[in-house]
């Protein structure tokens, strides 16, 4: 659970986001969720941190590679983020794999 945070409120916002993340993980477990499908913007920021947080929380993560896009502030940021997510245990998949 990440986003762009103004420096003046960074500590408070991070604390709130961590709490929300913990509560979300607990609620998902209560519902029996074990696997998350993740897509969105931006691969190299929000998606990356969401996937890493989900893996740290013990969820299986399927990264929808055709449903993500990178900002690429530096060329290759998106590819590096995808490699990092895979190294953390996320499995790359495509939306078409679920459209049957």
Identify whether the C-beta of residue 64 lies closer than 8 Å to the C-beta of residue 37: yes
**69 exposed, middle or buried (CB, 10 Å; 0-12, 13-18, 19+)?**
middle
Q: For the domain that residue 63 is a member of, what is the CATH number?
A: 3.40.50.850
Residues 75-87 pLDDT 10s: 999 999 999 999 9
Q: Judge whether 69 lies within some domain.
A: yes
User: Which pLDDT score is estimated for 87?
Assistant: 98
Asked if pLDDT for residue 8 goes beyond 50, the answer is no
What domain range is 54 assigned to? 7-98
Q: Judge whether 2 lies within some domain.
A: no
Residues 34-55 pLDDT 10s: 999 899 888 999 899 889 989 9
Which residue has better confidence, 53 or 8?
53
Rg (CA), the chain: 14
Cα–Cα distance, 4 to 46 (Å, whole number): 9
Q: Judge whether 89 lies within some domain.
A: yes
Q: Judge whether 1 lies within some domain.
A: no
Number of domain units in the chain: 1
Model-level pTM? Answer: 0.81
């Amino acid at each position: 659970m990440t986003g762009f945070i103004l420096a003046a409120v960074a500590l408070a916002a991070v604390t709130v986001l961590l709490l929300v993340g913990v509560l979300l993980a607990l609620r998902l477990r209560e519902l029996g969720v074990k696997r998350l499908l993740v897509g969105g913007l931006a691969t190299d920021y929000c998606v990356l941190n969401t996937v890493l947080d989900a893996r740290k929380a013990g969820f299986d993560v399927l990264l929808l590679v055709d449903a993500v896009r990178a900002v690429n502030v530096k060329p290759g940021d998106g590819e590096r983020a995808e490699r990092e997510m895979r190294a953390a245990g996320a499995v790359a998949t495509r939306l078409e794999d679920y459209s049957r």
